[in-house]
Amino acid sequence: MTTQHAASTSASTPPPDPHDNIVQAVDVCKSFGDKKILTDVNLTVARGEVVVMVGPSGAGKTTMLRTINRLESIDSGEIRVNGELIGQRVNKHGKVVERSARDLARQRADIGFVFQHFNLFPHMSVLENVSLAAVEVRHQPKSKVNDYARELLERVGLAEKADARTRSLSGGQQQRVAIARALAMRPALMLFDEPTSALDPEMVGEVLTVMKGLAEAGMTMIVVSHEMGFTREVADRVVVMDAGTIIESGAPDQVFSNPKHDRTRQFLSKVL
Amino acid sequence: MKFDWPYFWESLLSPSPQFLNGLALTVIISVVAMALALLLGLVIALMGRSRFLPFQLFASLYIWVIRGTPLLVQLVIIYTGFAAAGIFRFEDTDVLGSLIKGAVQAAIIGLMLNESAYISEIVRSGLESVDRGQNEAALSLGMTPMHSMRRIIVPQAIRIMVPPLGNSFNGLMKSTSILSIIGVSEMFQVGSTMSAATFKVFEIYIVVALYYLLLTTVWTFIQTAIENTLNVRAGLPRAEPVFKRLFGIRSRKQTTPAPALALQPADAA
Ligand SMILES: Nc1ncnc2c1ncn2[C@@H]1O[C@H](COP(=O)(O)OP(=O)(O)O)[C@@H](O)[C@H]1O
Ligand SMILES: [Mg+2]
C-alpha cells in the first residue's frame, strides 16, 4: 500500500504541491478488541484537496475519519495533521507518547468535524452553538465572534434562525448549523462523516449545496459520502475503502467508469 | 377517643422553643448533609467513570456496601461503634462560635455517606443520559474534556438529575427522624421527650407529622421551581404543577422528551 498523490487531481484544478500535505496517515492500524478495523491505511491529503471516501458499511470509513482528529486512537502507524502528530508527540527519549488533553484540544480546534447526527448542543441557541468555541476556546471577543457567526449562518442560508432553538430546526437546517459551527473555528481541514445520510431525501440538496460552496472556496475536505453526483462534481479524488483497507484511489471519473478492483465494481453497482 | 384539641392547636401553632430548635436542627442537618453528599456523590460518580481501575473498584465497593446496609446500622457504627472500639470519637466542637454536638457531627457524616452512594448513581445515570455525540462534538471544536463536562454535559445532565435528587432530599429529611437513636435532639427526638413528659402521645406525634409534611411540601415547591427554571432555560415545557405532584397525579403525556437524538447503531451504507 502506498500513498496516493499520483492520481490526486482532476483536470480542472492545478496539481497540489505534494509537500503541502495537511493530512498524512502512514500504515494506520486499529482494532476494537480482537477485531481488526483498519489495516495499514495510508492516506495523504494536500491543502485545498477534496477527498471523498466511499465503501460498504462496516469498511472502517467512520473509524478512519475519526482517527484524523483523534476521536479514535490508533494502535500503530502515525497520523500527521499540518505536520504534527495528532494526539501524540515524540518525547525527549525519542518515544511516541500521548499529548496532553490541552495540547490535543489545540490541535482539534483546527479540524472541523461534521457528524452524521449533527450533535448540535440542544441547551443553546443556534447562534450560541456557532459562536461558543470561538469565544471559549479561541478567546476571541464575543461581539466579533457573533458577527462572524451571523455571517456564517447567512452563508448556510439560516441567518433568520440565529436565535432559534436547535430542536425547532429540520434535519437539513441542523446539519447546516453544524457546518457553520465547525467553520466558526476557521479550521484548516473539514471532516464530514456521511453528513446527509440521516436526512430526509428532500433535505439532502441544501446540505450538499453548502458543501459544494465550501469546496469551491478552497476548503480542504475529507468527506465520507455516497452521494455520487456530489462526488463527481466536487471530488478531486475518490478513495474506496473495504474491510479496513484502501483498495482503490483516483479521480472520480476514473474510479467510477473504470474501477480496477472487483470489490469497487461490486460496491459501485449498488450505489450508482 | 380522647383528643386534647386545645393542646394540639397550641403545640401546632405556638410550638415550644425546644420544638423549634428540633425543627431547625432537622433542617440544618438535612441541608448540610445533602450539600456534602452532592459533592461526595459527584466524586464517587467520577471515580466510577474513571479509566483508573482502583477508582472504579473503590466506587463499586462503596456503593455496594452503603446501599446494602441500613442507615440506622451505619449511624450506630460511626457514632457508637467507632468510639467503643477506640477508632474515633466525635467530640463536641466549636464551629464559627457555636458548639456542634458530637452526635450532630456523626449524624451529618452518616447521612452524607449514606446519601452519597445513592446520589452517585443518580449522577452517573444523569451523565450517561447525555448522548456521547455531545461530548464528541465539543471535543472536535477544541474543548478539553473538562470544558466539555462543565459546559456541555453537566448542563444537560442536571435537568435529568434534579427530579431524582429532589426525591432523595425529600427522603433524607424524613430519615433524620432516626437520628434520635444516637441522641440528636432533632424534631422527632424533641417530640418523643415531650410525649414522655405529658402523655399526650397522639397529639404530639400528629404535630410532629404535620411539621414533616410542611418541610417536604415546602421542598416540593422549591424543587418544582428549580425544574421549571431549568426546563424554561432549555426551551422545554414546564414541569408538573405542584398540586399534581403533591397528590400523586401524573399526567400521561411526557413532559420531558428524551434528552438527545438516539444514536443509530449502524450507518447506512
Ligand atoms: N466503538 C466501537 N467498538 C467496537 N467496534 C466498533 C466500534 N466502532 C466501530 N466498530 C466496528 O468497526 C467496523 C467499522 O466501522 P465503521 O468505521 O463505522 O465503518 P463504516 O463507517 O465504513 O460503516 C464495524 O464492523 C463496526 O462494527
Ligand atoms: Mg460510517
Q: Which of B151, B266, B267 sits opposite A136 (nearest CB)?
A: B151
- Residue of A30, A35, A36, A37 to mutate, ligand 1, most atoms within 8 A of C-beta: A37
Residue-by-residue pLDDT tens, chain A, 272 positions: 444 444 444 445 555 455 689 999 999 999 999 999 999 999 999 999 999 999 999 999 999 999 999 999 999 999 999 999 999 999 999 999 999 999 999 999 999 999 999 999 999 999 999 999 999 999 999 999 999 999 999 999 999 999 999 999 999 999 999 999 999 999 999 999 999 999 999 999 999 999 999 999 999 999 999 999 999 999 999 999 999 999 999 999 999 999 999 999 999 988 87
Enter the C-alpha cell of residue B26.
432537622
- B149 vs A contacts (CB less than 8 Å): none
**Closest by Cβ to B156, choosing from A123, A133, A194:** A123
Residue B79 has pLDDT above 80, yes or no: yes
- Look at ligand 1, atom 4, and give the residue with the nearest C-alpha: A32
Q: What is the pLDDT of residue B252?
A: 61
Asked whether the beta carbons of residue B156 and residue A120 sit closer than 8 angstroms, the reply is no
Global pTM value = 0.83
- Residue A1 burial (CB count, 10 A): 13
CA atoms within 13 A on the CB side of B236: 21
Q: Is the CB of A264 under 6 A from ligand 1?
A: no
